[in-house]
Chain A
């Protein structure tokens, strides 16, 4: 079955530390890939997306993600996190074969000053 895996369930960092959150999908073929963020008590917002072209995608608030097709991965990175990045992060993938968008289980990031 098609799935999206986020292996880091809970990440705790100090401010200025670098961040990398893993995301792997199980689809074959063409996929659209997304990272969404949910700040405490708020709804989900798009951080960045990949449809085609340059596999290194830049999003809002200094986040970026790299699509590596051979590894079925779309990891999220930020070189220096801030306290305000404390949130839950969701990776999502949509296969062109099924047109269903499937979310990972999310990664809770806590950043301490």
Chain B
């Protein structure tokens, strides 16, 4: 089954404790992206990647890191989480329809992160 998976689905942590949220897709998509969803603000893009070893900042990259060592995986790293990073995070992947533009994005189930 074609899907985007994220782990963990729920995470409660404390300020400053490094964490990683994994994202994996099995559709051989070139494009992958991380979003955070906050009430009244919709989805905002954190980072995206057009292909292996190619990553770029989205609209709200501060406090986050990503890596794309393999096509299927795109982990989101919070080196020193802070309470303002409490949010619902979605990973998404997509084919690139006409480079470098994306086609339909397929979203993971979300990771609800709480930073105390």
Contacts and interface: CB of A to CB of B under 8 A. Distances in A.
Contacts of B110: 43
A27 to B, nearest CB: 13
Contacts of B109: 42-43
A45 interface: yes
Size class of the B contact interface (CB-based, 8 Å): 20 to 34
B108 to A, nearest CB: 6
B40 A101 contact: no
Interface string A89-104: 0101010100111111
A103 B104 contact: no
Most buried by A among B40, B44, B103, B109: B103
A100 B101 CA distance: 8
B41 A105 contact: yes
Interface of chain A, main secondary structure: strand
B82 interface: no
In this complex, the interface size class of chain A, counting residues with CB under 8 Å from chain B, is 20 to 34
Given A100-B45, A103-B42, A43 B107 contact: yes
Contacts of A36: 105, 107
Contacts of A43: 90, 107-110
Contact of A44 (B40, B44, B101, B107): B107
Nearest to B108: A43
Contacts of A46: 104-105
Contacts of B48: 100
A45 B92 CA distance: 11
B97 A51 contact: yes
